[in-house]
Protein backbone atom coordinates (compact mmCIF):
# COMPACT_ATOMS: atom_id res chain seq x y z
CA UNK A 1 0.00 0.00 0.00
CA UNK A 2 1.27 3.44 -0.95
CA UNK A 3 2.11 5.76 2.01
CA UNK A 4 -0.35 8.64 2.25
CA UNK A 5 2.24 11.40 1.69
CA UNK A 6 3.43 9.68 -1.49
CA UNK A 7 -0.14 9.28 -2.70
CA UNK A 8 -0.94 12.93 -1.95
CA UNK A 9 2.14 14.04 -3.88
CA UNK A 10 1.18 11.85 -6.82
CA UNK A 11 -2.37 13.24 -6.81
CA UNK A 12 -1.05 16.81 -6.71
CA UNK A 13 1.28 16.12 -9.64
CA UNK A 14 -1.56 14.58 -11.65
CA UNK A 15 -4.24 17.22 -11.13
CA UNK A 16 -6.96 17.63 -13.73
CA UNK A 17 -7.21 20.89 -15.65
CA UNK A 18 -10.25 21.80 -13.53
CA UNK A 19 -8.42 21.12 -10.26
CA UNK A 20 -5.45 23.17 -11.45
CA UNK A 21 -7.70 26.08 -12.41
CA UNK A 22 -9.56 26.07 -9.09
CA UNK A 23 -6.32 25.72 -7.11
CA UNK A 24 -5.13 28.92 -8.77
CA UNK A 25 -8.09 30.69 -7.12
CA UNK A 26 -7.76 29.04 -3.70
CA UNK A 27 -4.02 28.88 -3.03
CA UNK A 28 -2.11 31.38 -0.91
CA UNK A 29 -5.27 32.47 0.94
CA UNK A 30 -6.54 34.16 -2.25
CA UNK A 31 -10.20 33.57 -1.41
CA UNK A 32 -11.29 35.65 1.59
CA UNK A 33 -7.96 34.99 3.32
CA UNK A 34 -8.89 31.35 4.02
CA UNK A 35 -6.16 28.68 3.95
CA UNK A 36 -6.84 25.71 1.66
CA UNK A 37 -4.91 22.49 1.21
CA UNK A 38 -5.09 20.25 -1.84
CA UNK A 39 -5.21 16.45 -1.93
CA UNK A 40 -5.65 16.38 1.83
CA UNK A 41 -6.09 13.10 3.69
CA UNK A 42 -9.17 12.78 5.93
CA UNK A 43 -9.64 9.30 7.32
CA UNK A 44 -9.37 6.82 4.43
CA UNK A 45 -10.05 9.50 1.80
CA UNK A 46 -8.12 12.14 -0.07
CA UNK A 47 -10.20 15.23 -0.76
CA UNK A 48 -9.40 17.61 -3.60
CA UNK A 49 -9.40 20.80 -1.51
CA UNK A 50 -9.83 21.34 2.21
CA UNK A 51 -10.04 24.25 4.64
CA UNK A 52 -9.50 23.21 8.23
CA UNK A 53 -10.55 26.59 9.65
CA UNK A 54 -13.84 26.59 7.69
CA UNK A 55 -14.32 22.80 7.96
CA UNK A 56 -15.02 22.83 4.22
CA UNK A 57 -14.25 20.12 1.67
CA UNK A 58 -14.38 20.90 -2.05
CA UNK A 59 -14.51 18.08 -4.59
CA UNK A 60 -14.10 18.53 -8.33
CA UNK A 61 -15.59 15.58 -10.19
CA UNK A 62 -15.47 14.28 -13.73
CA UNK A 63 -18.23 12.35 -15.48
CA UNK A 64 -16.97 9.07 -13.97
CA UNK A 65 -18.52 10.26 -10.69
CA UNK A 66 -22.02 10.79 -12.14
CA UNK A 67 -23.53 7.80 -10.36
CA UNK A 68 -20.73 6.84 -8.02
CA UNK A 69 -22.23 5.36 -4.86
CA UNK A 70 -18.79 5.65 -3.24
CA UNK A 71 -19.06 9.44 -3.46
CA UNK A 72 -22.27 9.34 -1.41
CA UNK A 73 -20.71 7.25 1.36
CA UNK A 74 -17.62 9.47 1.27
CA UNK A 75 -19.79 12.60 1.67
CA UNK A 76 -21.71 10.98 4.52
CA UNK A 77 -18.45 10.09 6.27
CA UNK A 78 -17.15 13.65 5.93
CA UNK A 79 -20.40 15.28 7.10
CA UNK A 80 -20.49 12.97 10.13
CA UNK A 81 -17.08 14.41 11.05
CA UNK A 82 -18.59 17.89 10.85
CA UNK A 83 -17.28 18.94 7.44
CA UNK A 84 -19.36 20.63 4.77
CA UNK A 85 -18.84 19.20 1.29
CA UNK A 86 -19.21 21.19 -1.93
CA UNK A 87 -19.06 19.29 -5.22
CA UNK A 88 -18.52 20.78 -8.64
CA UNK A 89 -18.27 19.16 -12.04
CA UNK A 90 -15.09 19.65 -14.06
CA UNK A 91 -17.06 21.47 -16.77
CA UNK A 92 -18.48 23.89 -14.17
CA UNK A 93 -14.98 24.81 -13.00
CA UNK A 94 -13.60 25.10 -16.53
CA UNK A 95 -16.57 27.01 -17.95
CA UNK A 96 -17.70 29.11 -15.00
CA UNK A 97 -14.82 29.55 -12.55
CA UNK A 98 -16.28 32.85 -11.29
CA UNK A 99 -19.57 31.14 -10.38
CA UNK A 100 -17.74 28.30 -8.63
CA UNK A 101 -15.56 30.77 -6.74
CA UNK A 102 -18.67 32.72 -5.72
CA UNK A 103 -20.37 29.55 -4.41
CA UNK A 104 -17.27 28.73 -2.34
CA UNK A 105 -17.07 32.32 -1.07
CA UNK A 106 -20.75 32.14 -0.07
CA UNK A 107 -20.05 28.98 1.95
CA UNK A 108 -17.08 30.68 3.63
CA UNK A 109 -19.09 33.81 4.46
CA UNK A 110 -21.87 31.63 5.91
CA UNK A 111 -19.27 29.90 8.07
CA UNK A 112 -17.86 33.21 9.36
CA UNK A 113 -21.29 34.66 10.20
CA UNK A 114 -22.29 34.87 13.88
CA UNK A 115 -24.09 31.65 14.71
CA UNK A 116 -22.11 29.84 11.99
CA UNK A 117 -19.53 27.24 12.89
CA UNK A 118 -16.75 29.72 13.61
92 domain residue, yes or no? yes
102 domain residue, yes or no? yes
Please compute, for residue 104, the number of CA atoms within 13 A of its CA located in the half-sphere on the CB side: 32
Displacement of CA 17 from its chain's centroid (Å): 15
- Answer whether 101's CB lies under 8 Å from 92's CB: no
| Structure confidence at residue 70 (pLDDT) | 74
| Structure confidence at residue 67 (pLDDT) | 57
118 domain residue, yes or no? no
117 domain residue, yes or no? no
88 domain residue, yes or no? yes
pTM confidence score: 0.83
68 domain residue, yes or no? yes
* Beta-sheet pairing, 45-51 with 56-61: antiparallel
| Structure confidence at residue 7 (pLDDT) | 62
User: What domain range includes position 35?
Assistant: 4-112
- Answer whether 101's CB lies under 8 Å from 21's CB: no
86 domain residue, yes or no? yes
The CATH number of the domain holding residue 23 is: 3.40.960.10
Q: What is the pLDDT along the chain (118 residues), one digit of tens a residue?
A: 566 677 666 766 778 999 999 999 999 999 999 999 999 999 999 999 999 999 999 999 986 544 566 788 899 999 999 999 999 999 999 999 999 999 999 999 988 766 666 5
Burial-class residue 59 by CB neighbours within 10 Å (0-12, 13-18, 19+).
buried
65 domain residue, yes or no? yes
Number of separate domains in the chain: 1
Residues 104 and 59: their CA atoms lie apart, in Å, by 11
Amino acid sequence: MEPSTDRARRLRRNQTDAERKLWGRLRDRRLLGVKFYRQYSIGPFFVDFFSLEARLVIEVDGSQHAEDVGDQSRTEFLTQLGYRVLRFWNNEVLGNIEGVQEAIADALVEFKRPGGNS
